[in-house]
Amino acid sequence: MEIGFLCLNCQMDTDSESIRTGDIHSYDLTERASSYLRAGYAFLDFTDHNPMFADLPFTLIVELNQAARAWKENKTNFCLVNINYEHAHELEVEHGPRQTMQSRRQFIENLHGVLCRAYEGIRKEDFITGKYEDYMVLHGIAKEDILEDRREMIKIAMSSIRLDIGPYFKVLGPEELV
């Protein structure tokens, strides 16, 4: 089990080994932080029934929890897109981790633009960066839509990136997640 910290204001996710610590004498919770706290047992219920999510970024679990709740209550469709990078290891050896991560970030930025043109309601918060892979929780979008268009999306998002990180998608719908 890893312990980490998530800034609910800027979304910075830091592991416990890397963060600078100090005493805090007072604090205020943002509305988003209050929402996380209100998720309570619903959050725990979601992760308890899906042990494969135990190692995922906290922000991803929260987004999945919100999407799962909307699906259960209103049948609002959603999908989880797991983005893996086939060539990441080779590129890290050849060009270094910084350039590989920059390529991943640029791919995600480009992909965000592609999705914003194709679908309404795409938010920056829908994209979550992991340690070795990235994720999208797409609210109101069916798994089948992403599967149908994924090759073209990847092609367009990669068109301006110098290093071929080899992105590919694994897409899961609510039936596989809830």
Question: What DSSP letter does each residue of 19-36 carry, written as one string?
Answer: ------------HHHHHH
In the 3-class helix/strand/coil scheme, how is 139-164 assigned residue by residue? Answer: ECCCHHHHHHHHHHHHHHHHCCCCCC
pLDDT value, residue 43: 43
pLDDT value, residue 46: 46
Distance CA(137)–CA(79), nearest Å, equals: 6
pLDDT value, residue 140: 93
pLDDT value, residue 122: 93
pLDDT value, residue 137: 95
The H or E element spanning position 15 is strand 13-15
Burial environment of residue 85 by CB neighbours within 10 A (0 to 12, 13 to 18, 19 or more): buried
pTM for the whole structure: 0.71
Q: Average pLDDT by consecutive 10-residue portion of the chain (178 residues)?
A: 66 71 78 56 44 70 89 93 95 94 96 94 91 93 95 96 96 89
